[in-house]
C-alpha cells in the first residue's frame, strides 16, 4: 500500500473513531487534508467510497446514520471495534514468537515485529522466550528469488502480473499473464499458483524460472480463486512423488543423484552406465530432460517419446 493512501486511511479511521456523533462527508472532507486536495466533488466521492470500503475490509466497523436533516453521517464506535482479550498459554505464545522469526526479509521482518508488539499490547506474555521454550530452534525460510516479494504483494492485493517464464523444456522464456493465488515452498524451492490467462487454466510456476521483473497489469481477477490451492500436491505430482507407474532408464554412472534416490532397483550395465527402475507420476518427462545426455529412457514408450519431444523443442530453440 502506498504511504499516501495508508496515511489517508489512518486519518479517516481516527476521525471516525474519535467522533461522538456521526460526521458527514462534508465534515470529513474538511478534516482530512488529502480530501481537500482531491479536486472536484466526483474525485472526492470516489476516493472516499474506496477508502471506506478498504477500512471495512480491514475490519473496521463503520456505521451509516441519517440525521434529522436527511444528511448521511458516518462513525466507528469504539465498543464495536474493540478486540476481545487475547489469552495465550506459554506454548501458543512461543509458537507465535517462532513464526515471527521465520522471515528474514526486511519487509516481512518489520511486519512480523509489529504484529508481535500489537499482540503483547493485547495480552501476549512478554516473558515467553521462544528460544527457551524450544531450545535453540530458530526456523528460517530462505528466499533468493527477486520475484518473491512482488508476487507475495500481488497475491495479497489480488493484482494480475506479467513476467517472463522459462519452462524446463524451453530454451527461451515466454511472457505469462497470471492472476496470482498463493505462494508455497516445497523442498527448498518457491512456487506460485495462479490462473494463466494465456492458457485459460490454473498453472503452477517455479520462481527460479522467472526471468526479469514481475510487473503489475491492471486490476481485478477474471477467474474465481479456489478455496483450497494445492501447490505442493501439484508440484509433487510433477516430481513423480505421486507415483502410479514405473519407468526404466539408463543413467550415466556418477550422475543423477536425485534420480538414484528415487530408484527402487539399480543395476550396473558397464561402460559407465547403470539401469534404474523409478516409480513416477505425471511430469517425470520434464524432470528427466533437465539431466540432458546423462539419461536415456528405455520404458515405457510414451515416456520416451515425451522426453524426446521436449529435447527436440530445446534443440530447435
Q: Which CATH architecture has domain 3-80?
A: Orthogonal Bundle (1.10)
Which residue ranges make up each domain of the chain? 3-80, 90-133, 148-237, 245-316
- Give the separation between CA 211 and CA 286, rounded to whole angstroms: 19
Burial of 156 (0-12, 13-18, 19+ CB in 10 A): exposed
**Residue pLDDT, tens place only, 205-242:** 989 899 989 998 877 888 888 887 777 777 766 555 55
**CATH number 2.40.160 is the correct assignment for the domain at 148-237:** no
Residuewise pLDDT in 10s, the chain (317 residues): 456 788 888 889 989 988 888 888 889 998 888 888 877 888 888 899 989 988 888 888 899 888 667 788 998 988 888 766 667 676 776 666 666 665 555 455 555 555 656 566 555 555 555 444 444 445 555 567 788 889 988 888 889 999 999 886 677 889 999 999 988 877 677 889 899 999 998 888 989 899 989 998 877 888 888 887 777 777 766 555 556 788 999 999 988 888 888 889 999 998 899 999 988 776 678 778 888 889 999 999 988 998 888 888 777 76
Under 8 Å CB-to-CB from 299, ≥6 apart: which residues? 247, 248
Output the pLDDT for position 172.
Answer: 85
The 8-class DSSP code of residue 207 comes to: G
Cα 85 from Cα 76, distance rounded (Å): 20
Q: CA-CA distance, 162 to 217, in Å (whole number)?
A: 7
Count of helices and strands (H, E) across the chain: 12, 12
- Summarize pLDDT for 270-314 with one digit per residue, the tens: 889 999 998 877 667 877 888 888 999 999 998 899 888 888 877
Amino acid at each position: 500500500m502506498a504511504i499516501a493512501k495508508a496515511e489517508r486511511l489512518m486519518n479517516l479511521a481516527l476521525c471516525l473513531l474519535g467522533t461522538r456523533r456521526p460526521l458527514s462527508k462534508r465534515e470529513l472532507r474538511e478534516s482530512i487534508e488529502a480530501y481537500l486536495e482531491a479536486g472536484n466533488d466526483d474525485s472526492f466521492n470516489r476516493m472516499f467510497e474506496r477508502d471506506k470500503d478498504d477500512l471495512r475490509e480491514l475490519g473496521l466497523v463503520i456505521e451509516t446514520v441519517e440525521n434529522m436533516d436527511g444528511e448521511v453521517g458516518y462513525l466507528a464506535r469504539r465498543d464495536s471495534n474493540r478486540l476481545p482479550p487475547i489469552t495465550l498459554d506459554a506454548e501458543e505464545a512461543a509458537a507465535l514468537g517462532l513464526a515471527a522469526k521465520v522471515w528474514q526479509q526486511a519487509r516481512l521482518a518489520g511486519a512480523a515485529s509489529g504484529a508481535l508488539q500489537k499482540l503483547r499490547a493485547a495480552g501476549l506474555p512478554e516473558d515467553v522466550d521462544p528460544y527457551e521454550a524450544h531450545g535453540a530452534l530458530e526456523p528460517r525460510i530462505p528466499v533468493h528469488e527477486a520475484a518473491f516479494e512482488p508476487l507475495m504483494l500481488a497475491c495479497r492485493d489480488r493484482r494480475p502480473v506479467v513476467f517472463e517464464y522459462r519452462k524446463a523444456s524451453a530454451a527461451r522464456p515466454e511472457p505469462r499473464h497470471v492472476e496470482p493465488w498463493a505462494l508455497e515452498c516445497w523442498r527448498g524451492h518457491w512456487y506460485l499458483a495462479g490462473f494463466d490467462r494465456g492458457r485459460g487454466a490454473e498453472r503452477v510456476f517455479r520462481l527460479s524460472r522467472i526471468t526479469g521483473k514481475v510487473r503489475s497489469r491492471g486490476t481485478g481477477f477474471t477467474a474465481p480463486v479456489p478455496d483450497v490451492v494445492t501447490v505442493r500436491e501439484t508440484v509433487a505430482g510433477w516430481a513423480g512423488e505421486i507415483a502410479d507407474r514405473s519407468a526404466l532408464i539408463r543413467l550415466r554412472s556418477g550422475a543423477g543423484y536425485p534420480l538414484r534416490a528415487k530408484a527402487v532397483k539399480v543395476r550396473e550395465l558397464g561402460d559407465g552406465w547403470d539401469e534404474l527402475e523409478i516409480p513416477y507420476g505425471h511430469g517425470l518427462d520434464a524432470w528427466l530432460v533437465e539431466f540432458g545426455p546423462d539419461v536415456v529412457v528405455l520404458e515405457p514408450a510414451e515416456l520416451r517419446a515425451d522426453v524426446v519431444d521436449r529435447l527436440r523443442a530445446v534443440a530447435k530453440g
